[in-house]
Every structure is written in structure tokens, then in C-alpha cells.
Amino acid sequence: MITITFPDGNTKQYEEGVTGLMIAKDISNRLAKEVLSIGVNGEVWDLTRPINKDASIELYKWEDKEGRDTFWHSSAHLLAEAVEELYPGVKFGIGPPIENGFYYDIDFMDYPPLTDKDLPKIEQKMLELARQKQQFVRTDISKDEANKYFKDKDDEYKLDLIKDLEDGTISFYKQGSFVDLCRGPHIPDTGSIKAIKLMSVAGAYWRGDEHNKQLTRLYAITFPKKSMLDEYLVKLEEAKLRDHRKLGKELELFTFSQEVGIGLPIWLPKGADLRERLENFLKKVQRKFGYQQVITPHIGNINLYKTSGHYDKYGADSFQSIKTPQDGEEFLLKPMNCPHHCKAYQFKPHSYKDLPVRFAEFGTVYRYEQSGELHGLTRVRGFTQDDAHIFCTPDQLKDEFKKVIDIIFIIFKALDFQDFEAQISLRDKEDRSKYIGSDENWEKAERAIIEAAEEKGLTTVTEYGEAAFYGPKLDFMIKDALGRKWQLGTIQVDYNLPERFGLEYTGADNEKHRPVMIHRAPFGSMERFVAVLLEHTAGKFPLWLTPDQVVLLPLSEKYNDYAHKVAETFRENDVRALVDDRNEKVGKKIRDNELKRIPYLLIVGEKEQEEGTVSVRKQGEGDQGVMKIEDFMQFIMEETEKELTFAQNL
């Protein structure tokens, strides 16, 4: 007999060899139908895999990320089986689950390039195979046997993957006629895959290397119920309407130019205005928390980033060095702000009485992203971080960390991000080669984050392998209005850069000590934050933030002068107003300006001109009546101030 420990701490005895599915059935038949995979001592397993020793377990359903990942990973194998039946002889790369669904990279060899028109027949074949309720069967074999299998199959991609695996047993999975190299886990059989949608066809270089062959990447998503797919597709259509690239163009916020360079956004006047208001909002909050603004260059000597470790870790992803014409010096476009802030700290000696020192900067950084990975403002090559670095004593670390959490809460509440998850990102449990610094410092940093999150009452999830190379972090994953997850605010604890740069302060004992460094960016980057905010609000920004608060709509050209005069009065009093004096019917003007998400539409004609009034319409609410110019202006100013004061005082 073995002892199984459940998440609530209760235990039960089972015979050796019991499976997750057996345990689920023992609890209830309904649970057995819903469960998709099992966590065994922190590792996700197949439900049909025998448990042969005492273990702590957790049963994963669709509501759990581990359950969905298992479902979608299994669906990727089903996709591959369908493709292999329809296109015999194709070769397969990798097919992992992703945030929404999964993909599989496939070499279609000499077949004609796949198009969207080919997707329905693959969907139908997948549904046909799913209905056969094929079991996913795991087999453990030796590395030599695995190599022989794929050599006989003439599949160089799987052979390439096997090269990276350690010697010992390697797991294969089979369902129906399809066999794949895979560590699992998988759902028991294909029968629970009820709804399938192939989303798109794309290209992807093998191993992400543009020197390798380009494979065909099929993106897809599956669900255990058709109604869930229908709901997802409705959300997808809504997401298209909210696409920040579409809204950014319609609202004239930003643009891109091939001549300037792909992945390098150009902020147009309305977008620059909106971005400036966001920056000013955060600057005002930061001043209350004792931050000082600094400005650092857009480039730095290559040795600066070698000292910090960024060149060793990210040199390949940086824009390559710029050499001076005569002196032969080497510079990089700045990939990070933190080394520059370390040098700002070193400008003068510090005592423990000076600490914490808090440097903040809206610093633009540059990183080379492959063109296929660029996406609007969410993935760019040049972006501005709302960056800050806090230099403090070890005793101050936890309190400073908690104050940064407070700042992030202010931002999320001010902009109505209500649904978020705090993720503690730690080192990879096994591969420590990608990190710098001693285990002792890492353990201190990790402990500080965990304790600070607990003391702030945060519900957290822990992800291993997601830490920065110099320290662990607390990432804030927000869900937007469509339920999509985005990583925005981040706080990182770093014992290592102060050591690498030799940063010091004089302690109360008159000895030299090493400060601890906190990296933080509540917005993350201005580009991504604006993109997420655009899609979250569908372009309907709060009154204090929106680029245009008011538009005046003259009933005919006879009232254009009056409209412009009123707009000028508004602008003189910091009310953002414009005039739509096109020679169009007022109904069309109303419709067009509603689409521009302008909060207030003011109609002016003969009566308004004579009486010094405006006829007020509110976005989405219609007619609000007639108001004196002074009264409406006062109303807008008070509403704006009320919103802004509320936001900054949260």
C-alpha cells in the first residue's frame, strides 16, 4: 500500500500502481469524467500512469492551466495524426500548447503550400479521429531505440531533438497510427476532444533560427464542448474589433514606417499626448513615494553591459556594436536602463542615512526582435520602460518592495484593471547556468519576495525558470476585458548587479556595505501598456486620459466661427477640444465622432450661438440637454480633476 496526500492535507491508502484516473473515480464518477491530468509531487502526469510510491497529488480539470495544457498538448498530437493521414510522408517538428490552444510545426516536403482553404478538411479529419476515442499510450525506450525509429522514418527534426536529450529512457506516445517523441503528459483518450478550430497558417524557422528551413506552423484550438468553442469565437471577433493596431490607426495614436524601420513605433500627436499624461500621472505618484528622476543616454559603452552581464546574456539579441570613426570605441544601443542607474548611484558616496535612493526614468531601450515576432506595440524593437531602481539596505528591502506593490495597485485601480494574478518568478530548479550570482544571494532575494507578497495578502502562483538572469521577480499578470492575460508590472530583487559594479554605502558601523537593488516597472513598457489599455477599454479612455475630451459639431458652415471660438476658450482652460467643420450632415458627424470614442459631442447652431450655449451629447448615452459654455467647461474641468485626483490618491 502507498499513501496519497491530497491538496487539503488529507491522506488515503491505495494499492501500489494506482493511477490518477482510479483515484478520481474513487472520489466521484463525475470528477473522473472531468479530470484531465494529475500532479504527482509537483510534476504533471498522465492519468493512466501508475503511481508506485507515496505521493502528494493534485487533480487538474479544464479550469486549471495544467489541465488545459494537457488537453491542448494531446490535441496537437491529434492534429499531427490527421495531417499524416492526409499528407503521407510529412515530417514533424514540435507541437506545444500555448496560451490559447496549440501549434505544430510541420515540413510538408513537396506538397503545395498549405492555405486557409485546406484547414476545414484537416478539422474534419481530426474530428473523425477524435470520435474513435483512441487511447494515448506511453512507452519508455532507450535513446538508441529512439534514434533508430526516427532514422528509419527519415525524420531529421526528431533526431535533432533527441540529440539534446540525456542518455537513459525516452518516452514515446502513440494514439491510433501516430507515434511521437514526447515527454507528455496526455489525456486518457481522444474522445473528450469535441470541438476543433484551426486558426491560421504561418511560417516558422526550425528551432527559431532563420538559417534553418522554414516549416509550416498550424495554429489551432480545441475544447471539450462545442459551446465553449462558440463562446471563444465570439470573443475572438470582439478582440478583432478591439485590436490595438486597428484602434491606434482609427484614433490616430501611432504608426509604423518601413523607411524608419520595422518594429520602431512613431507616436502621433494624439498618442504622444496620451502617453505624456500617463507619464505625468506616474511621476506625480512616484514623487509621493520619494523617487528622483534621472535621464541617461540611448547608447552605452559595450564594457558597461559586459560588466552588468547583459552583453553575455543578451548580446545576440541586441543591436550590434556601433564603432566610433576615429577612436575605435564600441557602443551598444541601450538594451537596459539598470547599468546606467548603477553609475548614477556611484556618482557620490552614500551613507546608510541616505538610503533608500530611488532613481526613476522613462528610458527608451532597444532590442533586436526577429521580424516574425513583432506585433504592433506589444512586441517592438524600441520601447520606453517606466523604469526605476531602488538602492537600499538589506533591512529596508521588504518594506521598499511592498511600497512598489502599492504603486502598482494604484495604477491598476486608476485604469480599471480589476482582474490580475501575482506571479512569483524563480530560477529554474535544475538549470542554473543561465543565472549569475551565489545561491545564498538568490535564496535571500527569493525569500524577501515571497514574504513581501504574503504580508501584502497577495494570492500568488510560482513559476520556475521565469526569473531574470540577475534575480527573482514578482510579475503582475492582468486579465483584460476579454479575459486575455498580459504581463505588465514587474518588481525584481537583485543582489548581483551591486556586486558586479562594486556599489557601496557606509553603514552605522562606519564600514562599507553592499546595497540591495530593486528593479521595477509598474507599466512594464509604455508601448505594451498603451496597447493593452487600448484593447481593454476598446479605445474609450477615462476622461482625464483621453486625447480628445470634446468635439464641437456646427449644424452648418454658418456656425463654424462660433464653434472654433468655443473650442479655443476650452483649450485655454485645459479642456481638450476640436471642431468637426466638415460640410456634412450633423447625423454623419455624430456617427463618425462616436466611432472616434470622443466622450462629449457638442452641437451648435443658431440658438446656441445666440444664447452662448452648447447642446450636449455623451458618448453612448445620447442627448444630455443644453448648457451654458461656462457651465459645461466648469463641469468638464471638475470631472477631469475628480478622476485624476481619485486615481492619484488611491
CB neighbourhood size of 216 (10 A): 19
Going edge to edge, which strands form the sheet with 292-293? 292-293, 357-366, 382-392, 516-521, 485-494, 473-479, 419-426, 460-464
**Annotated catalytic residue 576:** no
Residue whose C-alpha is closest to residue 171's, from 145, 200, 134, 208: 145
Q: Is 389 annotated as a binding residue?
A: yes
Residue whose C-alpha is closest to residue 215's, from 372, 101, 70, 98: 372
What the block records as the C-alpha cell of 248 is 491606434
- CA 82 vs. chain centroid, Å, equals 32
Q: Is 208 exposed, middle or buried (0-12, 13-18, 19+ CB in 10 A)?
A: exposed
**Annotated catalytic residue 519:** yes
Rounded Cα–Cα distance for residues 149 and 154 (Å):
9
426 membership: H or E segment, kind and range: strand 419-426
**Annotated catalytic residue 338:** yes
- Residue of 519, 520, 589, 617 marked catalytic: 519
State how beta strands 550-554 and 577-579 pair. parallel
Query: Helix (H, G, I), strand (E, B), or coil: what is residue 208?
Result: helix
Q: Which residues pair with 339 in a beta bridge?
A: none
**Annotated catalytic residue 447:** no
**Annotated catalytic residue 389:** yes
Cell 491529434 sits at which residue? 78
**Annotated catalytic residue 340:** no
- Residue of 107, 180, 387, 548 marked catalytic: 387
Q: Is 342 annotated as a binding residue?
A: no
- Residue of 68, 389, 403, 536 marked catalytic: 389
- Residue of 385, 423, 549, 609 marked catalytic: 385
Q: Is 298 annotated as a binding residue?
A: no
Query: Helix (H, G, I), strand (E, B), or coil: what is residue 99?
Result: coil
Rounded Cα–Cα distance for residues 51 and 59 (Å):
14
Rounded Cα–Cα distance for residues 417 and 409 (Å):
9
User: For the residues of 448-494, what is the DSSP string, one character each?
Assistant: HHHHHHHHTT--EEEEET-SBTTB-EEEEEEE-TTS-EEEEEEEEEE
**Annotated catalytic residue 217:** no
- CB of 518 closer than 8 Å to CB of 397: yes
- CB of 132 closer than 8 Å to CB of 176: yes
Rounded Cα–Cα distance for residues 605 and 192 (Å):
64
- Residue of 197, 367, 596, 617 marked catalytic: 367
Rounded Cα–Cα distance for residues 231 and 387 (Å):
38
Residues flagged as binding site for Zn(2+): 338, 389, 519
Active-site annotation, residues: 338, 367, 385, 387, 389, 473, 519
